[in-house]
Structure 1
């Protein structure tokens, strides 16, 4: 990649190569996978380097396929669909241990994907 004159094109073309087009979406996913840089301002305030992506579009435009690809190649990721997600399922829920009867918190998708996508 170092000798390639346009690294971003090479990276974007390697994202789900079976899907033709969608170059803007592929570029957004590449940015999300690589992430941004955290910055610390002179006054001590910190700015996160996270890049968040929201995909909206008509059915059949490969949104789910592209997101599943990002999920498969990212070292930390959780894939969930809007149909089966509740607020508790995304954040945390209280569960009861069967053998001991004790209550505990179980992290949801957002907790499990912290630091990833």
Structure 2
């Protein structure tokens, strides 16, 4: 199960890193094609979400890989799960079922990592 959790962490890290970098580097207008919700947020808010995703990415991998404060890994997974829960609420409010499916999958995977790393497969 430990190897499985590492694979899930790596997949989540890749997904959140790509998403976070996109939100940091692209303008809100350019993101609107992929993320229609960006028109309802300021550029600063979108970039803040990107920074949060990148910090979560670092938290998913670095503490566990280095053995320095590995408790930060499940905390990062929990934070990303909360963020995905809030994103899901936004997609429900905006009536965007396509965005809701991806968000729900990411939430479930983050919750799995948090459960595994806090519980039976913690360090």
> Normalization by structure 2: what TM-score?
0.31
Larger strand proportion, structure 1 or 2?
Answer: 1
Bigger Rg, which one:
1
> Normalization by structure 1: what TM-score?
0.32
